[in-house]
Amino acid sequence: MTSSTTSGGYRVAPDRLDEAAGALAEKAGALDGVHSGLSATSLSPQPFGQVPQSKQASEVFTKDTKELAEKLEKQVNLAHTIQTGLTASAAGYRRTDVQVAAMYRALMPEDPLPQAGSATGVAGSPGTWSSAIAANRDKIAEALLTEKDPRRIALYQDILANHRQILKFDPAGGGRIVELIGDIQPGTRNVGLFVPGVNTSLDNFQSYADLGKSLVAADSTGRTAMVVWADGDFPQNVTTQGSSASYARAMAPDLTAFSDELHQQIADHAGSGVLVTGVGHSYGGATMGLAETMGLNVDQVVHVESAGMGNGVWSPSDLPASQTGMHRFSMTAPLDPIEIAQGNAPFDSLTGIGHGADPDTFPGVTDLETGRAADGSQLWGLSSHNDVLKPGSDSWNNIYGAITGGTVTPDNSFTPHSVGEFAVEALNGRW
């Protein structure tokens, strides 16, 4: 995240804009107190007893006080307007910095650091990911010969043309796939493990791969890598299958085993000091939460519009000792219908329906702001469920900040700019 930018020859420092907004808010608050005092001030119609001019003096005082209060109210409102503008400008500059930087970095090589003896970024010897990548390339070339679905054809062709690092691949049914984006090598410091949600298949995998690519490209040092994990059968209908924990129960053991495999690759090719972050979106959050009960091997977890902490997980005591001290984040956009699923099935472990506690209120979780999209519009409602993953949004910035150990924005920091935004914030209660 850059601390400043330039526009029209002037240096713009978002942090200074935030400081100015804060100072202005304090002064506006003080003036608001004075205004309230003036508005409440009155003078008796007979302030000087029976003096003939007493009533006239009272009327003049009341008139002058009212006019002064009105003028002061206008200045207070103007101060609040300027404060809101400064805050919005700072946020806008930060979003633009990240968005433009990501666009330029996407045109540059994703691996500017010296390679560790392998073009794949995972130094090769039999049994490592390098051999899996080579074997899966052959599988994809073979699958391409008989594939009829245009979306899969486009995916396979792009994988082959751009030498993408596919760690696991199976085209049967909805398909299974795991991709490494970026490199795990000496100098790597951050690795994200992303798990998507309902409707995931080979048909739409590219959208999640693009998310991983945007996060990798945003790190100009080349020290961040992402793994997009879709090595399971995901529910394909949110109403008839989304509430069932059966899919998560089937995937969680494989995800846990893969996290151990990931750590071994990091130990072999990057060494120590690497921050590994699991990011679960929607049903993927519930799957990752359930994997925690099996010892998911990551340093921290980010729940994004997550269905829950995992089937049967209602308190930290429901997790094994291996997860003690785990740093967890969560974010849910206002009025995202996923709120219906969060923490609303108390007998989930018995029925198999439901995904445990609400991640936003789980003890020890840092709740993050979803904020605004890249165009400045408020993220809320049904569309926000997936829009939170788009580059340039405040939510994407928070995901990137968590993965890289950088700055994150806590929840309840959103400043409404319109009556509609105020209404969304006011309605944002648990259903």
Instruction: Assess contact for 285 and 139: CB atoms under 8 A.
Output: no
- In the predicted model, what is the mean pLDDT of residues 305-312? 97
Per-residue confidence (pLDDT) for residue 290, from 0 to 100: 98
**Does the pLDDT value for residue 1 go beyond 50?**
no
Q: What is the pLDDT of residues 259-304, one digit of tens each?
A: 999 999 999 999 999 999 999 999 999 999 999 999 999 999 999 9
Output the 3-class SS for 194-251: EECCCCCCCCCHHHHHHHHHHHHHCCCCCCEEEEEEECCCCCCCCCCCCCECHHHHHH
Cα angle, residue 275 at apex, residues 136 and 289 outer, rounded to 5° = 75
Mean pLDDT of the chain: 86
Per-residue confidence (pLDDT) for residue 86, from 0 to 100: 72
pTM given for the model: 0.73
Per-residue confidence (pLDDT) for residue 24, from 0 to 100: 74
Give the model's confidence band at 160: pLDDT under 50 very low, under 70 low, under 90 confident, else very high: very high
- In the predicted model, what is the mean pLDDT of residues 346-354? 93
Quote the CA–CA distance of 369 and 397 in Å, as a whole number: 10
Q: What is the pLDDT of residues 382-391, one digit of tens each?
A: 999 999 999 9
Quote the CA–CA distance of 416 and 393 in Å, as a whole number: 16
The answer regarding whether domain 119-427 maps to CATH 3.40.50.1820 reads: yes
Give the model's confidence band at 118: pLDDT under 50 very low, under 70 low, under 90 confident, else very high: very low
